[in-house]
Amino acid sequence: MSPAGSGRLPYMPRPPALTAQTLARRALIAALGIGLGAGCGGAPTPAVGGSAVTIKGFAFHPATLTVAPGSTVTWTQRDDSVHTVTAADRAFGSGNLAKGQTFSYTFTTAGAYRYLCSIHTYMHGEVIVR
Ligand SMILES: [Cu+2]
């Protein structure tokens, strides 16, 4: 194993005092990097049914979330200001969420579910179930 590319590892924090230990560590990091690269190159990674939305900065993150039917989505409120998660058609609603509070809703039927913050109605989000 050769320390290929050892001169261009931007995340090595120490100055170039090339001890044997440093060289060995660089070689290990390079090998790990190659292994990871081979593992995730090319083929598209399928969506990992993530089902968490963060409310922060007066916005929903992600603004559009796609989940499978039967998924429970949990919103976590991270702003100092109070927000709500309110379906555009009022099919579900969290009521006021203070900082640190969460709201969960289970989407059983395929479709597109728009929601907003009823206090700051410019805050929009959408859950797509399919
Ligand atoms: Cu709000």
For residue 2, tell me if it sits in a domain. Answer: no
Distance 71 CA to ligand 1 centre (A): 24
What is the CA(115)–ligand 1 centre distance, in A? 11
Structural domain includes residue 91:
yes
Mean pLDDT of 58-77: 97
- pTM, rounded to two decimals: 0.63
Give the distance (Å) from ligand 1 centre to CA of residue 89: 17
Q: Are 95 and 84 in contact (CB under 8 A)?
A: yes
Asked whether residue 100 falls in the same domain as residue 86, the answer is: yes
Q: Which domain holds residue 117?
A: 47-129
Residue 10 counted as domain residue? no
Quick one: which of 73, 72, 48, 52 has its CA closest to 62? 52
Sheet holding 102-107, edge to edge: 60-61, 52-55, 71-77, 102-107
Q: What is the DSSP code string of 34-48?
A: HHHHHHHSSSPPPP-
Residue 50's pLDDT is 63
* CATH code (residue 84): 2.60.40.420
**What is the domain count for the chain?**
2
Give a yes or no: residue 125 inside a domain: yes
Let me know whether 85 and 28 are in one domain.
Answer: no
Same domain for 36 and 80?
no
pLDDT 10s digits, 15-46: 445 445 444 444 433 433 333 333 334 444 33
Indicate if 56 and 115 belong to the same structural domain. yes
Q: Is the domain of 54 the same as that of 105? A: yes
CA atoms within 13 A of residue 96's CA, in its CB half-sphere:
5
| Mean pLDDT rounded to a whole number for the chain | 77
